[in-house]
Amino acid sequence: MVSAARRILDRVPRPEDFTSAVHDERVVARVGVWFGAAIVILFVTGLVSHLHQNPVWWLPFGPEPAWAYRVTQGLHVAAGFACVPLLLAKLYAVYPRLFVRPVVTGWRHGLERASVGLLVAATVFQVVTGVLNVFQLYVFGFGFTRVHYATSWIVFGAVLVHVGVQLPAVVRGLASGGDLSGSGVRGGHAVPRGGTVPQGGADDVGPRGSDEAQTTRRGFLGAVAVATLTLTALTLGQTWRPLRPVALLAPRDPEAGPQGLAVNKTARGAGVVEAATDPGWALELVGPGGAVRLSRDDLLALDQHEAVLPIACVEGWSATARWGGVRVRDLAALAGGRPDDPVHVQSLQARGSYRESDLPGAYVAHEDTLLALRLDGEDLALDHGFPARIIAPNRPGVLQTKWVARLVVGGAA
């Protein structure tokens, strides 16, 4: 039994068997810095999105600037896509380290390896499920948002531990041969200049200390850069219009949908077709002054305003449109509240995590925060939230509640 296991282990490659200069410490350090920068962007922009949807009193977001969420979430998804080549390249460069012998030398080495395992598992998880999620492939068996949020802390913590442990190697890797020339070190082990090179490695491409090795290192880093930029160029068009013609791999075309605007959740998908098209629909407006019911005609008879605002989906696509409707602060006043009272919004949707949303006071007070009735001069399409929807500046799309049934002003019951 033991000898069988030993025989198998003997057939597993060792780090020395990987002789390509791709696994050089200098390559690892550079790809690591790029990947680390992407992770910092992802963590910060992800927190912004989380705090929009789960506000805390000590860090409130306001409606200005209107484009902020569009930029942070567009950046989040773009950085996520960029992580596909960066993660693959990073893991490939350090792949030989998976095979170090002995497997574990002591408790410290064991902990370090465990932390790397956790780091790899968590980053692969975030990138894979994140990409699937923006393509709306909800195949996980768990709710994406909460798990993505919890895993982001694990990634960030594991990255800090990893950088702390590997910092000397990073410094060495970045310092030795800023031009990536000359002989050097790899995978944490110094290789003597002109030292012996193991023969017949799995991905052997020849002597390390040579021009050839330098070509390999530069070529690999160049390819990583090209892959990252190409993927970004082919996906960013879903939020940045100039790149829309080449958005071949973008999950969404933000202009494909009714009234030239994409839709995430259709009226059919939300199960509201009947309720939303009922001619007897009326908005229930509840406030300190009591409750009133306003039909669509009643709403259209109130002061109408137009606002040019982006709709920015958590899944990274965004598009600007011209919305028309009643200012929410006017409705708050009509219900006997103040124009900066928070407003709770309820949809006709019976189920779903996004059937309700809250507009903080600062949002209610903003002149562009509307109960929208019209889109680009026409009645709202059913899939855009007819008969009425919320649209406000600097707000995730999932909080721009559609098919509004009820507004509750200032915490009134």
Partner 1 sequence: MNGGEVAGGGVPGWVRVTLVTAGLVVLAFGAWTALTWVPARWWAPWALWLAGGVAVHDGVLAPLIVVLGWVVLGRVRSPRLREVLRGIVLVLGTLALVALVAVWAGAR
Contacts of partner 1 in 9-38 (CB under 8 A):
18, 20, 22
DSSP string, 185-235: EETTEE--TT----SS-TT--S-SSSHHHHHHHHHHHHHHHHHHHHHHHHH
Size of the site for partner 1 (CB under 8 A): 78
Shortest Cβ 162–partner 1 spacing (Å) = 8
Contacts of partner 1 in 243-272 (CB under 8 A):
249, 251
Give the residue from 53, 71, 77, 75 showing the smallest Cα distance to 127.
77
CB of 85 closer than 8 Å to CB of 38: no
Q: Which of 44, 100, 104, 169 binds partner 1 (CB under 8 A)?
A: 169
Contacts of partner 1 in 118-157 (CB under 8 A):
118, 120-122, 124-125, 128-129, 131-132, 135-137, 140-143, 146-147, 149-154, 156-157
Shortest Cβ 312–partner 1 spacing (Å) = 20
User: Which residue's CB is nearer to partner 1, number 142 or number 301?
Assistant: 142
Q: Where are the beta strands (DSSP E) in 328-365?
A: 343-347, 356-359
Mark the segment that binds partner 1 (CB under 8 A) among 30-38, 163-171, 264-272, 345-353.
163-171
DSSP string, 81-143: HHHHHHHHHHHHHHGGGGG-SSS--SHHHHHHHHHHHHHHHHHHHHHHHHHHHHTT---SSS-
DSSP string, 19-61: --GGGBHHHHHHHHHHHHHHHHHHHHHHHHHHHHHS--TTS--
Q: Which of 27, 41, 78, 170 binds partner 1 (CB under 8 A)?
A: 170
Q: Applying CB under 8 A, does 109 fall inside the site for partner 1?
A: no
User: Which residue's CB is nearer to partner 1, number 214 or number 369?
Assistant: 214
Q: At 19, which amino acid appears?
A: T
User: Which residue's CB is nearer to partner 1, number 154 or number 273?
Assistant: 154
Q: Applying CB under 8 A, does 158 fall inside the site for partner 1?
A: yes
Coil, helix or strand at residue 335: coil
Shortest Cβ 160–partner 1 spacing (Å) = 3
Decide: residue 258, CB within 10 A, 0-12 exposed, 13-18 middle, 19+ buried: middle
CB of 119 closer than 8 Å to CB of 83: no
Contacts of partner 1 in 208-247 (CB under 8 A):
211-212, 215-216, 218-220, 222-224, 226-227, 230-231, 234-235
CA distance 216 to 388: 59
Shortest Cβ 180–partner 1 spacing (Å) = 13
User: Which residue's CB is nearer to partner 1, number 154 or number 292?
Assistant: 154
CB of 220 closer than 8 Å to CB of 35: no
CA distance 403 to 132: 27
Shortest Cβ 115–partner 1 spacing (Å) = 8
Decide: residue 45, CB within 10 A, 0-12 exposed, 13-18 middle, 19+ buried: buried
Q: Applying CB under 8 A, does 105 fall inside the site for partner 1?
A: no
Q: Applying CB under 8 A, does 197 fall inside the site for partner 1?
A: no
Mark the segment that binds partner 1 (CB under 8 A) among 161-169, 350-358, 367-375, 387-395.
161-169
Shortest Cβ 147–partner 1 spacing (Å) = 5
User: Which residue's CB is nearer to partner 1, number 131 or number 292?
Assistant: 131
Contacts of partner 1 in 369-408 (CB under 8 A):
none
User: CA distances (Å), 402 to each of 178, 225, 282, 341, in order?
Assistant: 54, 41, 14, 21
Shortest Cβ 108–partner 1 spacing (Å) = 8
Q: Applying CB under 8 A, does 103 fall inside the site for partner 1?
A: no
CA angle 332, 335, 327 (to 5 degrees): 30
Contacts of partner 1 in 39-98 (CB under 8 A):
81, 84-85, 88-89, 91-92, 95, 98
Strands 404-409 and 389-391: unpaired
Mark the segment that binds partner 1 (CB under 8 A) among 207-215, 266-274, 284-292, 312-320.
207-215
Shortest Cβ 248–partner 1 spacing (Å) = 8
